[in-house]
A and B are shown apart, each in its own frame.
Chain A
Amino acid sequence: MNVLEVSALHAGYRHRPVLRELTFSVAPGELWAILGPNGAGKSTLLRTCLGLLSRQAGRISFLGKAIEEWSRRELAQRMAWVPQSFDSAAGFTGLELVLMGRSPHLGLWGLPSRADLDHALALMQDLQIEQLASRASDALSGGERRLLLLARALAQNPRVLMLDEPTAFLDLKHQVDVLRRIKAQTEGGLSAMAVVHDVNHAMAFADKVLLLKDGAMLACGSPGSTLTTQALERLYDLPIASADAGEGRKFFAPRFAQVR
């Protein structure tokens, strides 16, 4: 059974429809990369699938049930979001933030058990951010915040992970680290949809790619067959060159000479 099935989806804001006629389905253990220019509707797509934004038409089915039939809490136990950032002014510590990921599984007050605590700390160790446990979130770098948000999402024990630019604000090593960790999670059965801007990341890590332009699907499929220079040139309106990156993969870059 597919984890997520989206059919003929139209969504957006009251006076500004964004997404048009999107149809795709995500299977268990798949890592999807959503690529497209700024304003193409990538974040809108994630937020609509998360039920944060209501649909204008079409259907989203999650684990065999229409998205609107899930309660917020039930959804949060199965689907997690890694936003671009959060209001860090509140001043919670890293551990407090990660533990908030356990709250959909806990009672009214969100009191963690020893097991919840160990789970959160293990996730932080795994992401090598255990030193942030007692640090206030308003004293963190953008990259550290991003890793905390990833740990928080994993603490939810979700079936699907929605990631809005998971590698933004991260240095090259941490970009690859984070993508590896997400990949390892999907190999364990978790499904993930990630908005990414780096075509080569999508090429290296994704099982499926979705090219989104002006709210409509330009192409969708395996990276090897979908990510071609022609498709990317159409997607970004930019001349693009490719080279062999080894391991049977291609490497893409804008043709700077022609851009100038």
Chain B
Amino acid sequence: MMRMEHSSIEVPLRFTIRRAAALILGLAAVVVIAFAASARFGEQPISLSIALADPTSTDAAIFWSLRLPRAVLAIIIGAALAASGSALQGLMRNPLADPFVLGVSGGAALGATLAIAAGLGSAAQLAPEPLRAALARLSAPALFAFAGSIGATALVFAGGRVQGQSSPYALLLTGVIFNAFASAAITAVKALVNPEKLGEILYWLAGTLGYENAWTLALAALLQALAIGTMWMNAGKLNLLMLGDDDAASLGVSVGPTRLVLLLAASLSVAGAVALSGLIGFVGLIVPHVLRLWLGPDQRLLLPCSAFGGAAFLALSDLATRMLFSVFHTELPVGVVTALVGGPFFLLVLHRRRVGSLSLSWP
């Protein structure tokens, strides 16, 4: 048998600081391009030079108050969904896990549905007088969706504890059951509201990117930076948790607290995303999956790359929504596009993957 001298062989390590930095910079460049394209183009052609030179022009109005905020929102939501999807797939040790698996989608949808059904537009309508001005710009469905997803997550955590320990399978099952319950409750509400509100509810549920103000976008970006940062910081421990709880514990991980921190960060990230965009499916499922086939399972690499990949994917999907359907003078919810594009693409990638072979030719 040939003996390899390990000082001379090329060490097949998929995670090195150099490689991670190169990949993250590369993907960041892709995000910048996707962002620029998403901000530049749309149904209405605009001139960038006019938009930048004359702040009173129509082009400037479209660019600054429509294109730019929407592109920023796409980046934030895409990063949140894909990063938390990657973390949850690892935590649940289940490739089918997605950001909505822990009841977050059901809770958010139920919250938003109730807000729309009650005719609440702005959060200020609920607030006492002194707070009204501050909350005037916060949409009530967004606030209700956020509260609903946080409530649902708390409920699923409580229900998913088996003998005092949170087990991935019990969490998964409780989340699925809660989502089914929420879906039934939403159907009941839909049957009771007038057609106008029904349309609004359906549009929200399909997942859309709207036009948020700078204050909301900054808050969302801060929340996601904290949540994704927390997940990334714990990515080394997440790798060990993917082997099994006892394995992780025997390798020095405090399993309970670590899992709780990761679950909370992922849930907060998803809650912050769905509050602003509704349920945009597929991003959190396929982006981490496709990247895992390319990069391997190491979350130290996969998690940040998923964030960048998700951001670029959603920004481009949103651009497609605005461009492709303009002939019909309508705009599809971006969630429909991510599913229509993402589904077949995902199947293609899975189909082409050679089982058991692993690409070791990394950049």
Tell me whether B242 is interfacial, beta carbon within 8 Å: yes
Asked whether, in the complex, the Cβ of A77 is within 8 Å of the Cβ of B252, the reply is yes
**How far, in whole Å, are A47 and B358 apart by their CA atoms in the complex?**
34
Asked whether, in the complex, the Cβ of A109 is within 8 Å of the Cβ of B300, the reply is yes
Residues of B within 8 Å of A20, CB to CB, are none
User: With A14-B163, A103-B251 in contact, do A92 and B298 touch (Cβ < 8 Å)?
Assistant: yes
Tell me whether A75 is interfacial, beta carbon within 8 Å: yes
Q: Which of A24-32, A117-125, A229-237 lies at the binding interface?
A: A117-125
Q: Which of A2-10, A134-142, A215-223 lies at the binding interface?
A: A134-142
Tell me whether A39 is interfacial, beta carbon within 8 Å: no
Asked whether, in the complex, the Cβ of A76 is within 8 Å of the Cβ of B252, the reply is yes
Closest to B7 in A: A118
Closest to A135 in B: B358
Overall SS of chain A's interface: mixed
Asked whether, in the complex, the Cβ of B246 is within 8 Å of the Cβ of A83, the reply is yes
Tell me whether B45 is interfacial, beta carbon within 8 Å: no
Checking B233, B243, B249, B360 against A86 with a beta-carbon cut-off of 8 angstroms, the contacting residue is: B243
A257 to chain B, nearest CB (A): 42
Asked whether, in the complex, the Cβ of B244 is within 8 Å of the Cβ of A86, the reply is yes
Asked whether, in the complex, the Cβ of A86 is within 8 Å of the Cβ of B4, the reply is no
Asked whether, in the complex, the Cβ of B13 is within 8 Å of the Cβ of A104, the reply is no
**How far, in whole Å, are A66 and B300 apart by their CA atoms in the complex?**
34
Tell me whether A243 is interfacial, beta carbon within 8 Å: no
User: With A103-B240, A108-B233 in contact, do A134 and B163 touch (Cβ < 8 Å)?
Assistant: no
**How far, in whole Å, are A89 and B96 apart by their CA atoms in the complex?**
13
User: With A52-B249, A77-B252, A101-B251 in contact, do A87 and B242 touch (Cβ < 8 Å)?
Assistant: yes
**How far, in whole Å, are A121 and B13 apart by their CA atoms in the complex?**
11
User: With A90-B243, A130-B4 in contact, do A136 and B93 touch (Cβ < 8 Å)?
Assistant: no
Tell me whether B253 is interfacial, beta carbon within 8 Å: yes
User: With A52-B250, A76-B252, A90-B93 in contact, do A100 and B11 touch (Cβ < 8 Å)?
Assistant: no
Tell me whether B327 is interfacial, beta carbon within 8 Å: no
Tell me whether A95 is interfacial, beta carbon within 8 Å: yes
**How far, in whole Å, are A101 and B93 apart by their CA atoms in the complex?**
20
Q: How many A residues are at the interface, by size bracket?
A: 35 or more
Asked whether, in the complex, the Cβ of A111 is within 8 Å of the Cβ of B17, the reply is yes
Closest to A109 in B: B236
Closest to B233 in A: A108
User: With A90-B93, A93-B14, A95-B13 in contact, do A121 and B6 touch (Cβ < 8 Å)?
Assistant: yes
Tell me whether B254 is interfacial, beta carbon within 8 Å: yes
Q: How many B residues are at the interface, by size bracket?
A: 35 or more
Tell me whether B352 is interfacial, beta carbon within 8 Å: no
Tell me whether B363 is interfacial, beta carbon within 8 Å: no
Asked whether, in the complex, the Cβ of A93 is within 8 Å of the Cβ of B296, the reply is yes
Tell me whether B297 is interfacial, beta carbon within 8 Å: yes
Overall SS of chain B's interface: loop
**How far, in whole Å, are A136 and B360 apart by their CA atoms in the complex?**
10
Asked whether, in the complex, the Cβ of A52 is within 8 Å of the Cβ of B93, the reply is no
Closest to A107 in B: B236
User: With A93-B296, A101-B251 in contact, do A87 and B243 touch (Cβ < 8 Å)?
Assistant: yes
Asked whether, in the complex, the Cβ of A133 is within 8 Å of the Cβ of B12, the reply is yes
Closest to B242 in A: A90
Closest to B299 in A: A90
A-B CB pair tally, cutoff 8 Å: 117
Checking A50, A77, A96 against B298 with a beta-carbon cut-off of 8 angstroms, the contacting residue is: A96
**How far, in whole Å, are A49 and B11 apart by their CA atoms in the complex?**
35
Asked whether, in the complex, the Cβ of A47 is within 8 Å of the Cβ of B246, the reply is yes
Asked whether, in the complex, the Cβ of B298 is within 8 Å of the Cβ of A100, the reply is no
**How far, in whole Å, are A112 and B252 apart by their CA atoms in the complex?**
16
**How far, in whole Å, are A111 and B233 apart by their CA atoms in the complex?**
12
B135 to chain A, nearest CB (A): 38
Tell me whether A34 is interfacial, beta carbon within 8 Å: no
Q: Which residues 40-80 of A sit at the B interface, judged by CB distance below 8 A? A: 47, 50-52, 71-73, 75-77, 79-80
Tell me whether A17 is interfacial, beta carbon within 8 Å: no
Tell me whether A252 is interfacial, beta carbon within 8 Å: no
Tell me whether B239 is interfacial, beta carbon within 8 Å: yes
A241 to chain B, nearest CB (A): 38
Checking A51, A81, A96, A138 against B14 with a beta-carbon cut-off of 8 angstroms, the contacting residue is: A96
Tell me whether B356 is interfacial, beta carbon within 8 Å: yes
Tell me whether B247 is interfacial, beta carbon within 8 Å: yes
Tell me whether B145 is interfacial, beta carbon within 8 Å: no
B359 to chain A, nearest CB (A): 10
Find the residue from A72, A80, A117 having the highest chain B CB count within 10 A.
Answer: A72
Asked whether, in the complex, the Cβ of A125 is within 8 Å of the Cβ of B254, the reply is no
B164 to chain A, nearest CB (A): 9
Tell me whether B3 is interfacial, beta carbon within 8 Å: yes
Q: Which residues 255-292 of B sit at the A interface, judged by CB distance below 8 A? A: 292
**How far, in whole Å, are A103 and B356 apart by their CA atoms in the complex?**
26
Closest to A105 in B: B252
Residues of A within 8 Å of B250, CB to CB, are 50, 52, 76, 79-81, 83
Closest to A81 in B: B250
Q: 6 more A-B contacts (CB under 8 A) besides A86-B244, A156-B251?
A: A87-B93, A96-B298, A109-B236, A110-B300, A125-B3, A128-B1
Q: Can you list 11 residue pairs at the A/B interface with Cβ under 8 Å?
A: A72-B249, A73-B252, A86-B243, A91-B292, A91-B297, A92-B298, A96-B298, A117-B13, A118-B6, A134-B12, A139-B358
